[in-house]
Amino acid sequence: MASSSSRGSTPARGRAGAARAPNEVRIIGGQWKRTRLPVANRPGLRPTPDRVRETLFNWLGQDLSGWQVVDAFAGSGALGLEAASRGAARVLLVEHEGAQVDALWALVRRLEGAEAVVRVERGNALTVLARLAPASQDLILLDPPFDAGVHEKALAHAVPSLSRHGWLYLEAPTRWSDELLAPHGLRCARHLKAGAVHAHLLQRSDEPS
């Protein structure tokens, strides 16, 4: 989910046939399935499409029980809340915009049981990623602004906190080949192109295929 400060501008990330962000998205699976999440009508704020999120969580499996998850560029929180809905034990939503942080807290309070699992933090995604405990995260969700040039830095800051068998999701305007990922010790396990978006599910390159 992008916001003007945390995930890029609408022109840089626009989908075919979509002039602006929808006013809501839905949680696709888990305990909060079909719950609708409001999306503020603010320039640059738009969710990862349902199709892409559904594919991502099909790749990961429907049950994320016990997982430690960080959504580093949270925006509307759709990715992180989807993980929480599917059983993640702890989900950290990181967002820079103060108004959006307030909106995320309001969502967490509305979802039954979410306050025990989901924490919202206002801050810089790269700074937060850098201070996470080594090898502590089972799933790291990275959807930085397409026009901010931080994908490389986001990967570099995220990898140390990725657990031995963990997964890293990267959303980008171009495909990241294994050659580009190799310096980070990563390889691409799954890839999907949907409109202007390339969705990658990554894992450590020393993990078996």
**Cα→Cα distances 36→6, 25, 33, 64, Å:** 22, 6, 9, 21
Cβ 158 vs Cβ 168: under 8 Å: yes
Domains of the chain, residue spans: 10-204
Per-residue pLDDT of the chain (209 residues; tens, 9 = 90+): 554 344 433 333 333 333 344 578 889 999 999 998 877 666 555 567 788 999 999 999 889 999 999 999 998 899 999 999 999 999 999 999 999 899 999 999 999 999 999 999 999 999 999 999 999 999 999 998 787 789 999 999 999 999 999 999 999 999 999 999 999 999 999 999 998 899 999 999 987 66
Rounded to two decimals, what is the model's pTM?
0.86
Sheet holding 137-142, edge to edge: 118-122, 90-95, 68-71, 137-142, 162-172, 197-204, 186-194
| Beta carbons within 8 Å of 184's beta carbon, 6+ residues apart | 155, 156, 159
Give the start-end residues of each E strand in the chain: 24-26, 36-38, 68-71, 90-95, 118-122, 137-142, 162-172, 186-194, 197-204
The pLDDT score that the predictor gives to residue 209 is 62
In terms of CATH, what superfamily is 10-204? Vaccinia Virus protein VP39 (3.40.50.150)
pLDDT of residue 75: 87
pLDDT score for 17: 36
